[in-house]
Structure 1
Amino acid sequence: MEQVNRPPITVSSINFDRLSWIATAGVHSHHDAVAAMLADELGRADVVAPDAIRPDVVTMHSKVEYQDDVTGQTRRITVVYPDEEDLDAGRVSVLTHIGAAVIGLSEGQSIEWQSPKGGWRGLTVLRVHFQPERMAALSA
């Protein structure tokens, strides 16, 4: 999947290890295109210790508000692992295009990608309302 706008991203070492495993497993499943996108994103990520993650970076279980750059719509989601997905509750799997796109972005960053149907998609992270990664590291 071709990507045009690829801003720098940051991922904690804990998220990196688990997401790498998920991306590798997903390549051999019906999530192959999204898993490849996630693997590509992880391959260019700056991997840091959990306590070095800034609070404005999207990590797993972050509550994030983003704008769809194609439709202009704003949406709030929580980025979760595939087995935790619940779209009615706004819990979006990292093995979806939106989930794979937002992981590691910080507030104000935008990303674009080509969808499997050939159209272009893009989003901009407006705000990270809650980010548990750093909170957990600081309380440990």
Structure 2
Amino acid sequence: MNKQRPTSSGTGRRPKVVISADCLGRLEALAEGAIQRNPDLADRLLGEISRARIVPAAKLLENVVANCRAVTYRDETTGQEKTVTPVFPEDADIARGRISILTSIGVALIVLAEGASLHWDTRDGERRILTVLHVASQNVPESLEAQ
């Protein structure tokens, strides 16, 4: 099981978590629904939700990763950069770069802002650090999500 701990870049402290109020209920329901299938992931998501500051969607800062906002991150070990869009599970399509927020990388990224880093343990047990480089300021249009 992948485990990761987000940190504020360079400080070793966990970054602040900000969640849009319009996603809160859905995130809680997803976490609760995953308790039987994937208790570690569900606990991680519930933990992030419990420490989050909930804000109206209109007040969510543009540099915070959120559902349907593309995020570019860098693997500090390899230097490789990747852009993905966290989405609800039913909209996930890895071929299009849409990752479910109910995956370990989705849970980790959904709560971060530009400049934040997270420790990531690969399936091979290798520890890596991923850094959020950029968050798209606008959500991917819903019309694209249906494709």
Same fold (TM over 0.5): yes
Secondary structure (helix, strand or coil) at the match of 1:62 reads coil
- Cα drift, residue 69 of structure 1: 3.1
**How many aligned residue pairs are there?**
133
Structure 1 residues 15, 24: CA separation in 2 closer, same or farther (over 3 Å shift)?
same
Alignment match, 2:41: 34
Alpha-carbon contact 1:64-1:78 (below 8 Å) kept: yes
**Cα distance in 2 between the residues matched to 1:118 and 1:97:** 14
* 1:41 match: secondary structure: helix
1:121-140 mapped onto 2 (5 Å cutoff): 121-132=128-139
| 1:81 counterpart = 2:88 | yes
CA 68–60 in structure 1, closer or farther in 2 if over 3 Å, else same: same
Instruction: Please list the CA deviations of residues 18-57 of structure 1 after superposition, one character each: whole Å capped at 9, or x if unmatched.
Output: 101101111122x332222211111111111111101111
Structure with the higher helix share, 1 or 2: 1
Superposed, 1:1-140 pairs within 5 Å as: 3=5, 5=7, 6-29=14-37, 31-114=38-121, 119-132=126-139
Aligned-pair RMSD on alpha carbons? 2.3
User: Take 1:69 and 1:89, find their aligned partners in 2: how far apart are those partners?
Assistant: 23
Secondary structure of 2:133's aligned partner: strand
Deviates more, 1:114-123 or 1:68-77: 114-123
How far 1:130 moved relative to its partner?
4.0
Q: Which residue identity lines up with residue 96 of structure 1 in the other structure? A: T
Identity %: 35
Q: Structure 2: which 5+ residue stretches go unaligned?
A: 8-13, 142-147
Say which SS state the counterpart of residue 79 (structure 1) adopts. Answer: strand
Alpha-carbon displacement from aligned partner over 1:59-83 (angstroms, at most 9, x marks no partner): 1011110112343321000101111
The residue aligned with 1:138 is none
TM-score of the superposed pair, with normalisation by structure 2: 0.78
Task: Tell me the SS of whatever aligns to 1:57.
Answer: coil
Note if contact 2:6-2:117 (Cα within 8 Å) is conserved in structure 1: no
8 Å CA contact retained: 1:63, 1:128: yes
Contact 1:3 1:114 in 2 (8 A): no
Q: Structure 1: 5+ residue runs without aligned partners?
A: 136-140
